[in-house]
Amino acid sequence: MTASGGIGSLVPPLRLRAAVRRGRKGWKRLAAHGSALCLRSLNLLSQAPVTGSAPVVVSMTTHGERIHTVSIALESIASGRVRPRRLLLWLDSEALMADRPAAVRRLESRGLEVLLTSNYGPHTKYYPYVAGTDHHTLPLVTADDDIIYPRSWLDLLIRAHHADPEAVHGHWVNVMQVRASRVVPYSDWRRARDTGAAGGNFALGVSGVIYPPAMLEELRRQGDGFLAAAPGADDIWLHRTALRAGIPVRQVRTAPRHFPIIPGSQESSLMAENVGNRRNDFLITGLYAADDILAIATNGDHQLPK
């Protein structure tokens, strides 16, 4: 095979694709800066309520320096097509609670609930609400504090919940892969390309997830066992809980979505530790028993012991 018909002919297309990817990333960063500026301005001017009539609770947590940018994420949710019945922000620091930024206080005047709790790491965005509610009747939507959510974000989650109210639904779902009776490394999982349920469907909290009341009841029964088993890996704990409870996980649309990141919010992130340092793989090896892996490999058809 000649160079013109072999690898050499692939170089320009590969370079073109790389240039297109760089261009898209640059445009997304520019758009994120513009969106953040608009949301900051809205926070200064708006008196509209951040809550509404949608029968869900939206919950997030923040920590450290992100307290200064979390208002952007919250404002993006409050700007959605539909607004939740309650919008909660959990803080695990008395110092942060006492010195909340003006942007957060403005959101409070419009209906945001800022609540002090213990430090449960990333589990703080759901566990205090789960543990503090005697009987769950509303679904819970979790959101991250470093994301700008589009106006359709909550509406699409609620529509997915109405279509299958027994399932967990997420905007971004990866599919766990099993080989030789072992879960392959996290970096080798593929992205979901459908809305079907499967035992290996693994919802990523970064893009937002809606949990049905049955899942919340199961999490309440499980208690705070995650503190010893998966202190920094809420997505893993949540997936294993759903898997063992027989609760299906679905993607909202056929393509996974990762929404824009708030500029300047990434100085502290669990991603480098959990993914880059393969901490997820270590935790999965310890948390998932043989029956769990068989259920993943058989798309949840294997009956797990109670």
User: Cβ distance 78 to 106 under 8 Å?
Assistant: no
What is the mean pLDDT of the segment spanning 94-99? 96
The pLDDT assigned to 272 comes to 47
Percent of the chain with pLDDT over 70: 90
Distances (CA, A) of 287 to 181, 182, 191, 224, 280: 14, 12, 22, 15, 10
Q: Which residues pair with 114 in a beta bridge?
A: 89
Q: At what angle do helices 153-163 and 70-78 cross, to 10 degrees?
A: 60
- Over 60: is that where the pLDDT of 94 sits? yes
Domain range annotation of the chain: 28-297
Identify the top-confidence range among 6-15, 27-36, 67-76.
67-76
Q: Is 45 exposed, middle or buried (0-12, 13-18, 19+ CB in 10 A)?
A: exposed
pLDDT tens column, 204-239: 999 999 999 999 999 999 999 999 999 999 999 999
Q: What tokens does 260 get?
A: 């824009």
What is the mean pLDDT of the segment spanning 226-253? 97
Q: Which fold has domain 28-297?
A: Spore Coat Polysaccharide Biosynthesis Protein SpsA; Chain A (3.90.550)
Closest to 159 measured CA to CA, from 171, 172, 175: 171
> Distance between CA atoms of 136 and 211, rounded to whole angstroms?
11
The pLDDT assigned to 300 comes to 59
pLDDT tens column, 51-66: 999 999 999 999 999 9
The pLDDT assigned to 18 comes to 75
Distances (CA, A) of 54 to 128, 132, 156, 276: 21, 21, 12, 37
- Over 80: is that where the pLDDT of 119 sits? yes
The pLDDT assigned to 13 comes to 75
Single pTM value for the model: 0.89
> Distance between CA atoms of 39 and 74, rounded to whole angstroms?
9
The pLDDT assigned to 265 comes to 83
- Over 70: is that where the pLDDT of 103 sits? yes
**Which has more pLDDT, 269 or 45?**
45
Q: What tokens does 8 get?
A: 């050499």
The pLDDT assigned to 277 comes to 59
